[in-house]
């Protein structure tokens, strides 16, 4: 919030200084404070307890230097105000982006490829989806693929028992026929013959 305030104040002050410098530089009047001087007048200023006295020509020169300083300092203050506004806008943008990417409770951001056994939603066609993509969290060891009964199971066969944890699993897509005698399980070399 302070960044926005400093930025706006800097911009307004910078513009004011620059315009004031241009106005003072273009004026033919010589002023001592708010009083207009005439040739032969003196200007006495008091600052921090010390007094300075200037004649008409000295004050005219002083007013010209002050105008140039205001025209130089004004844009610098203006740029400072723009920097504060830019930083405040960047902070606001990062905060809103952080709020948009915080996953809801129980969900994780999909930064890594999904686990092979995790069902994935079908691709969406039509309008593109912008924003974060979420995947369910992955806890513990991979779970076995769901077992499906064959479409035309032989009569009398019941549901297949679930193999113990750690036993080789059949690939997703349902059970396969037993290997022919003398051959090992799919994916394993055949047993040695003696």
In tens, the pLDDT along 156-178 reads: 555 666 666 666 666 655 555 55
In a domain, 148, yes or no: no
Model pLDDT for residues 87-100, shown as the tens digit of each residue = 888 887 777 777 77
- Alpha carbon distance 6, 101 (integer Å): 29
In a domain, 138, yes or no: no
In a domain, 183, yes or no: no
Residues near 96 by beta carbon (within 8 Å), at least 6 away in sequence: none
The DSSP 8-state label assigned to residue 158 in this structure reads -
pLDDT tier at 184, thresholds 50, 70, 90:
low
Q: Which residues constitute the domain of residue 64?
A: 2-42+54-101
CA atoms within 13 A on the CB side of 160: 17
Q: Are 137 and 106 spatial neighbours (Cβ–Cβ below 8 Å)?
A: yes
- Alpha carbon distance 45, 54 (integer Å): 8
Which three-class secondary structure state does DSSP give residue 159?
Answer: coil
Number of domains in the chain: 1
Model pLDDT for residues 99-141, shown as the tens digit of each residue = 776 566 655 555 555 556 666 666 666 555 555 666 666 666 6
Q: Are 148 and 175 spatial neighbours (Cβ–Cβ below 8 Å)?
A: yes
């Amino acid at each position: 919030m302070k960044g926005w305030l400093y930025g706006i104040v800097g911009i307004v002050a910078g513009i004011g200084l620059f315009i004031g410098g241009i106005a003072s530089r273009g004026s033919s009047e010589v002023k001592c404070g708010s009083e207009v001087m005439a040739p032969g007048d003196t200007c006495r200023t008091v600052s921090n307890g010390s007094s300075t006295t200037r004649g008409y020509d000295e004050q005219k020169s002083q007013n010209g230097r002050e105008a140039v300083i205001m025209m130089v300092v004004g844009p610098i203050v203006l740029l400072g105000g723009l920097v504060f506004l830019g930083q405040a806008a960047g902070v606001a943008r990062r905060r809103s982006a952080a709020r948009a990417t915080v996953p809801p409770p129980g969900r994780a951001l999909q930064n890594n490829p999904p686990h092979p056994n995790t069902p994935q939603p079908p691709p969406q066609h039509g309008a593109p989806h912008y924003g974060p993509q979420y995947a369910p969290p992955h806890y513990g060891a991979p779970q076995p693929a769901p077992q499906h009964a064959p479409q035309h199971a032989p009569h009398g066969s019941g549901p297949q028992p679930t193999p113990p944890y750690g036993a080789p699993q059949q690939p997703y897509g349902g059970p396969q026929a037993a290997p022919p005698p003398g051959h090992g399980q799919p994916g394993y070399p055949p047993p040695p013959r003696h």
